[in-house]
A = this chain, B = another copy of it.
Amino acid sequence: MRQIKHPNIEQFELTDIMYALADPTRLEIVVMLATAGKKMTCGELDLNRPKSSMSHHFKILRSAGLVETVIEGTEHMNSLRFEEIEQKYPGVLKAVLKAAEKV
């Protein structure tokens, strides 16, 4: 079974997280995941862009530690690593989500 590599909490870097959140497309993915509060496929998180473009953004979200992707069948289920990010950087993601929602 395939697996996708994710950083652990010790490997999180604040600037990587800031960088990942600095792109509107990626920020929207994060907001959608937070709002849904459940795993979502890349397809559900699609922002009518080519798959390869979306895949690129997911890769950056994963490498920053913001998103966890587990493979279930042919689908990649994504979820926000909210608790872990909050544990390492309390309040950051929470405040950014609140800020992002009010557009």
Q: In the complex, what residue of chain B is closest to A14 when comparing beta carbons?
A: B99
Classify the secondary structure of A's interface with B.
Answer: helix
Q: Which residue of B lies closest to A12 (CB)?
A: B99
Count of A interface residues, CB-CB < 8 Å = 21
A73 at the interface (CB under 8 A from B): no
Q: Is A48 an interface residue (CB 8 A)?
A: no
In the bound complex, CA of A91 to CA of B99 (Å): 9
How far is the CB of A47 from the nearest CB of chain B, in Å? Answer: 15
In the complex, per-residue mask of A56-87: 1 if CB is within 8 Å of any chain B CB, else 0:
00000000000000000000000000000000
- Which residues of A line the B interface, CB within 8 A? 14-16, 18-19, 21-24, 27, 88-92, 94-96, 98-100
